[in-house]
């Protein structure tokens, strides 16, 4: 790859001007935007109605897959189809419950032993900006033994590979990533104690906001949609996704292409205790992208999108989508949760939370040049116990005792660092 394309692009100086120019150009390509939008809205409406019916009948909308079936390659075809349709899944028993609870205890020991409470200097970023949210209890900890053990485990690799295979990684005459190899993408942990009252986190999507309209690479990702062919648009087509480099600056930037975002539960969590929700319709992104092109949105506006913040989903512009909001089912420690990288998600509010709400964020970052490049930079930070480049430079763990060390890497862990 030409290294010039691997640099994060700069935000346009005149964003309103760039948005206006983009809208003019897209309308020329698309013809009658309202006709295409109506087609998208009709599809979304049928999916929303199906979700509402399922919810009313008490069935889980989130596909629930048993880890043993993934490991044995015996996931029923109906469940595979459900994951493809909903773009999300719960993996039951991904890790034994006792092992996950053990990890949870180890994490507490790790932060207490290193006096994190007194070292903590407050949030290092303003990731969620203006979303109606109180801040979740995120710890900027990356290199604990539990996190690294989970990341380099066979169970994690098995599920990551299973999920990668939902994507068409070969298209347009190119192989976009290797579904059976994964790169390290170190992320943080969340620990939310019993008794928490939290406003949750408003619905949004990750992996670029303005970028999804303005960057040439994203315009290629959405080429079918932006040429007016919703019928040919496939949210699972990986083409050009690995060529997207988000705007530099800000801490919402993700340097990797994640096929799925995900976390592993380190405590049991009941579905009514302020848990994650998604709008389980991968093609909802088509609605999000086309909505600002309609006449009732100001020419310079993208339905509330701002630079360096996540893409907000609002009642004002996206009420149809929000009807599909679906909480995860009850989970146990050791289960994992996964959602497609375009998917709307957020965290439900809670009053006086019962039980803990503890997770390790571990996404799927399949092997491709972009992800390998980032993993290689993480390898350096891993050795020094520093925060990875996509996160605020807090570096709490540099001198911590009990940090996971390079000698503890297994073969899979070494490969995931993509070093050398």
Q: Can you give the binding site for Fe ion, defined by CB under 5 A?
A: 206
The CA distances from residue 274 to 69, 137, 210, 351, 370, in Å, are 29, 13, 29, 8, 34
**Distance between CA 48 and CA 326 in Å, rounded?**
10
Q: Which is nearer to Fe ion, 47 or 342 (CB)?
A: 342
**Bridge pairing between strands 336-340 and 260-265:** antiparallel
On whether the CB atoms of residues 184 and 417 are closer than 8 A, the answer is: yes
**Can you tell me the distance from the alpha carbon of 25 to that of 32, in angstroms, rounded to the nearest whole number?**
13
Nearer to Fe ion, 104 or 342 (CB): 342
Closer by beta carbon to Fe ion, 63 or else 208: 208
CA-based torsion, 402, 408, 412, 416: positive or negative: positive
- In the bound state with Fe ion, the residue whose beta carbon lies nearer, of 314 and 354, is 314
In whole angstroms, what is the distance from residue 35 CA to residue 163 CA? 34
Least Å distance, CB 201 to Fe ion, is 8
Q: State the minimum distance, in angstroms, from the CB of residue 244 to Fe ion.
A: 17
Task: Write down the least CB distance from residue 401 to Fe ion, Å.
Answer: 32
Instruction: Report how far apart, in Å, the C-alpha atoms of 59 and of each of 64, 65, 96, 205, 336 are.
Output: 11, 14, 25, 25, 19
CA dist 121 and 138 (Å) reads 13
Instruction: Please tell me the number of Cα atoms within 13 Å of 329 on its side-chain side.
Output: 17
Strands 138-139 and 201-205, bridge-based pairing: unpaired
Following CA atoms 163, 259, 213, 33 in sequence, which dihedral angle do they give, to the nearest 10 degrees?
Answer: 0
CA–CA separation, 140 vs 211, rounded Å? Answer: 26
CB nearer Fe ion, residue 202 or residue 402 = 202
**Which CB, 206 or 386, lies closer to Fe ion?**
206
Q: Least distance from C-beta 81 to Fe ion, angstroms?
A: 26
Copy the structure tokens of residue 15: 């964003």
Nearest by Cα to 203 from 318, 286, 297: 318
- CA separation for the pair 246, 213 (Å, rounded): 12
Instruction: Identify which of residues 76 and 123 has a Cβ nearer to Fe ion in the complex.
Output: 123
Q: Which is nearer to Fe ion, 277 or 404 (CB)?
A: 277
């Amino acid at each position: 790859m030409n290294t010039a394309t691997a640099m994060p692009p700069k935000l346009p100086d005149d964003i309103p001007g760039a948005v206006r120019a983009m809208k003019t150009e897209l309308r020329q390509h698309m013809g009658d935007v309202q006709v295409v939008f109506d087609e998208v809205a009709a599809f979304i409406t049928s999916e929303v109605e199906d979700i509402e019916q399922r919810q009313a009948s008490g069935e889980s909308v989130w596909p629930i897959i048993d880890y043993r079936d993934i490991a044995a390659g015996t996931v029923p075809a109906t469940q595979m189809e459900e994951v493809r349709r909903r773009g999300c899944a719960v993996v039951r028993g991904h890790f034994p419950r006792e092992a996950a609870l053990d990890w949870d205890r180890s994490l507490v020991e790790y932060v207490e032993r290193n006096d994190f409470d007194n070292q903590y200097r407050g949030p290092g970023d303003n990731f969620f900006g203006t979303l109606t949210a109180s801040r979740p209890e995120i710890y900027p900890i990356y290199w604990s033994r539990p996190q690294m053990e989970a990341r380099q485990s066979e169970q994690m690799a098995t599920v990551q590979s299973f999920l990668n295979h939902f994507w068409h990684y070969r298209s347009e005459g190119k192989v976009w990533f290797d579904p059976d190899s994964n790169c390290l993408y170190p992320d943080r942990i969340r620990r939310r104690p019993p008794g928490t009252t939290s406003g949750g986190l408003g619905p949004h999507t990750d992996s670029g906001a303005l970028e999804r309209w303005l960057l040439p690479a994203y315009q290629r990702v959405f080429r079918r949609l932006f040429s007016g062919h919703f019928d040919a648009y496939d949210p699972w087509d990986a083409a050009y996704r690995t060529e997207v480099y988000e705007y530099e600056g800000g801490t919402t930037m993700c340097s990797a292409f994640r096929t799925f975002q995900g976390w592993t539960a380190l405590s049991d969590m009941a579905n009514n205790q302020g848990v994650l929700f998604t709008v389980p319709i991968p093609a909802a992104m088509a609605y999000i992208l086309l909505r600002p092109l309609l006449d009732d949105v100001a020419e310079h506006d993208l339905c509330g999108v701002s630079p360096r913040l996540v893409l907000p989903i609002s009642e004002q512009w996206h009420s149809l989508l929000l009807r599909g909001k679906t909480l995860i089912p009850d989970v146990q420690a050791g289960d994992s949760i996964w959602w497609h990288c375009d998917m709307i998600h957020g965290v439900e509010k809670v009053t006086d939370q019962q039980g803990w709400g503890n997770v390790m964020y571990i996404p799927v970052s399949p092997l491709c040049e972009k992800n390998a490049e980032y993993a290689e930079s993480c390898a350096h930070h891993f050795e020094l116990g520093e925060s990875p480049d996509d996160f605020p430079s807090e570096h709490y763990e540099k001198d911590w005792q009990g940090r996971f060390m390079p000698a503890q890497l297994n073969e899979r862990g070494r490969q995931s660092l993509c070093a050398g």
